[in-house]
Chains A and B, each alone.
Chain A
Amino acid sequence: MTPRLLDKARPHASIWAYAGAALACAATAAAALPFQQRFDLPNIIMLFVMTVVLVAVKAGRGPAVLAAVVGVALFDFLFVPPRFSFAVTDAQYLLTFAVMLAMSLIVGQLTAGLRAKAQEADRREQIVRALYDLARKLAGAMSVEQVDEALRGFLADQAGARCWLLLAPDAERLVPAGGCPVELDHLDLHTAQGVCKGHRPVTSSALDEPGRSRHFLPLSGATRNRGVLVVSVPDGAGEIPPLLEALASLVSTAVERLHFVEVAHGAQLEAMSERLRSSILSALSHDVRTPLTALYGMADSLAMSRASLPAEAADTALAIRDQALRVSDMVGKLLDMARLRSGRVSLRREWQPVEEVLGASLKLLGPALDGHPIAITGLDVLPLLEFDAVLIERVLCNLFENAAKYSPPGSSIALEALARPAEVELRVCNAGEGFPPDRLDRVFDAFERGRPEGRVGGMGLGLAICRAIVEAHGGMIRAFNPPSGGACVAFTLPRGCPPSIEAETLPPEGEL
């Protein structure tokens, strides 16, 4: 058990020490008395001086002074003729008394000083050891509660001080670390708040009960204040206040370390849940797609051998095939949506011409375009754009598919490209009925369909997917009905700074 510093920090020796000093002088006198005849007076003086030294070592400064005075008095009374009287016959004895008193005082004071220094060194060593112990505990603390507990233990053991650890989870709030601090009142919290914002420690005895003073120390971290340490120290624990700043920096290091551990742990958790989510998605996608692939393939095989089937069965086979394809398409869209909604789609952006991805989506759609001719304008003036080709292909496919679905058979679908200073806009327009005017801004919501009661099937995910993809690219998407009729969806892609291309010159004629 660490001894309390308080016990040793006695500013004044007790009454018992003085009594002891007087008693020691009396004992010396009593011991010397029988030898009074045989010893010379100077030797007796030595005995008294030695007594003063012993008293100084044992009891300190004050008792040593008393012992010096009492020693001289006893010497005069008991040993100097005329004995048993304070009267002095020989004047030279006055000098003896003066020297004896001076010597006793000086030796006594020197000895007491040494003793005090040794004691102080002891105390310091103890504090240092306790601090070291605390630092070790703080370094090993796994939670803020443990930091709080170690700190409380240290301050209570060393100085009978109380403390409260207030943490700042953000710039505005202060919350107690280990449960609710009932002892802190509104004024305390207000002061702590000010200290946390002002980054300067505050000491006040007015805020505490009499006999104690209250210290508010900011816990400065590398990036911001981590909180405030409030310590109530009893008056007289002189060694503690200078230590408090060191203590606060120890605590702030520990709290900051715990904060970063928590941050790292959070990031790890998030990465784990992200991995889990994507592995669930890919497992789901595999498990759902595999039977659909088989279903589609088998129906297709059956439809291919239609010559050997009755007409009705052949039609059924075709219908099964088409339905399987539709389900597969829906599953694809749902999985796309889930992936985009998870918010962590990593774009594989590359610089490329729009023309290429447009061609790829038209080829991919093929029969789904249902014979609608596509009229393309404005492509040749477009710069290279930076986008994820797979995702933008999906946007174009969804837009063309919608345009074909909601327009009269055989009508043409227009793709228009407009180059603006900071962005490029692509518009897909059809000659259909247009979006219902009151739903224009809602068509991009998931599971929202332009004409819910319409004859055309669908889940209402296509445009929601388009919006998620376009917004991930830093673009905008909107729907409108142009005055000339039909429906349009327009989306933009930022132009950015295209990479430079080293131009290649044509070789001279005849050489290729």
Chain B
Amino acid sequence: MTGAMILIVEDDSQIRRFVRAALERDGLRVAEAQSRREGLIEAGRCRPELVILDLGLPDGDGADFVADFRAWSSAPVLVLSARSTEHDKIGVLDAGADDYLTKPFSVGELLARVRALLRRGRSHPEAEAAVVCFGDVEVDFSRRQVTRSGVRIKLTPIEYRLLATLITHAGKVMTHRHLLREVWGPVYSESSHYLRIYVGHLRHKLEADPAQPQHFLTETGVGYRFQL
């Protein structure tokens, strides 16, 4: 992934500076923009493979940027946000952003997310593979079979659909609304307790310790993230 172009849209110059330094140390190319408007122009010019977007831009909503950007690019968007703004996060994720980091964040965490998103952006190995493994679980999409340590696990159709949706978007934060729409259909988009109960089922069937999950991660107040 050497040389991938990353666009940072962030109004604080010090944050831009250390994020840029960390990315460049990792062998990535970096473009910068200070505002939403400038960011869109710069994105059009440098065609980034990933955008790091601050949610507190002075000239507008991050969700607008993502919506405009999504109109012509499917490159992943990583959002930097402050705590206590779950509502804004949901907005920007629903608009098409892929992941978020809460400020303050460590450089290691940032790089890990960037690498994961770039991997996803390049190809969708999880989505295309017929067999996906995580922990001691193996999911065989061609035969619609789930086994754990070689033992077959029975899943209901909804559980299977939810698992498949989560695996397809592995690494990406999925909002409650998005998952409900995809698995249950648009009528259920407000009944988030269904989703929570079914994620609970999957955890009990597939996680070693359902109370401290390693794969079906909760993004509190926002949604879920599946981690391989």
Contacts and interface: CB of A to CB of B under 8 A. Distances in A.
Interface in A328-365: 328, 332, 335-336, 339, 348, 350-353, 355-364
B31 interface: no
Contacts of A355: 200, 203, 210-211
A336 to B, nearest CB: 7
B12 A290 contact: yes
Interface string B203-228: 10000001111000111110000000
Given A289-B82, A289-B104, A300-B108, A359 B218 contact: yes
Nearest to B198: A504
Contact of B18 (A301, A335, A505): A301
A294 B18 contact: yes
A501 interface: yes
B221 to A, nearest CB: 4
Nearest to B11: A290
A268 interface: no
Given A359-B213, A362-B212, A512-B157, A291 B14 contact: yes
Interface string B183-194: 000000001111
A310 interface: no
Interface in B20-73: 21-22, 25, 56
B133 interface: no
A42 interface: no
A356 B195 CA distance: 12
A156 to B, nearest CB: 61
Contact of A325 (B104, B200, B218): B104
A390 B196 contact: no
B106 A300 contact: yes
Contact of A352 (B19, B105, B107, B193): B193
A206 B157 CA distance: 90
A512 B21 contact: no
B220 A353 contact: no
Interface string A282-304: 00011001111111111011001
B193 A506 contact: no
B84 A293 contact: no
Q: Which of A289, A348, A374 has the most CB of B within 10 A?
A: A289
A376 interface: yes
A293 B104 contact: yes
A50 interface: no
B197 A360 contact: no
Interface size classification for chain B: 35 or more
A376 B210 CA distance: 11
A336 B84 CA distance: 8
B106 A293 contact: no
A393 interface: yes
Interface residues of A, number: 55
Interface string A491-512: 0000000110100111100001
B100 interface: no
Of B108, B156, B193, B220, most A-chain CB atoms within 10 Å: B220
Given A289-B104, A297-B105, A389-B220, A504 B158 contact: yes
Contact of A512 (B145, B192, B217): B145
B196 A294 contact: no
B144 interface: yes
Nearest to A499: B193
A324 B18 CA distance: 15
B197 A296 contact: no
Contacts, number: 138
Contacts of A505: 156
A384 to B, nearest CB: 6
A353 B218 contact: no
Given A350-B193, A501-B194, A356 B218 contact: yes
Contacts of A168: none
Interface in B75-126: 82-84, 86, 103-108
Contacts of B5: none
B192 to A, nearest CB: 6
Contact of A294 (B15, B144, B210, B213): B15
B193 A363 contact: no
B216 to A, nearest CB: 9
B221 A348 contact: yes
A289 B84 CA distance: 12
Interface in A353-411: 353, 355-364, 374, 376, 379, 384, 388-390, 393
Given A359-B218, A390-B86, A506-B156, A296 B104 contact: yes
B160 A363 contact: no
Nearest to A379: B211
Nearest to B219: A360
B181 interface: no
B156 A504 contact: yes
A304 B193 contact: no
A353 B156 contact: no
Contacts of B158: 504
B155 interface: yes
Q: Which of A298, A332, A350, A359 has the most CB of B within 10 A?
A: A359
B225 to A, nearest CB: 11
Nearest to A292: B104
A234 B29 CA distance: 96
B84 A335 contact: yes
Nearest to A288: B82
Contact of A501 (B146, B193, B218, B220): B193
Given A300-B106, A300-B108, 16 more contacts: A286-B56, A286-B82, A291-B14, A294-B14, A297-B104, A348-B221, A353-B197, A355-B203, A356-B200, A359-B212, A363-B218, A364-B220, A384-B196, A390-B84, A507-B157, A512-B145
The 6 tightest CB contacts between A and B, nearest first, are A294-B14, A296-B104, A390-B221, A351-B193, A360-B218, A512-B144
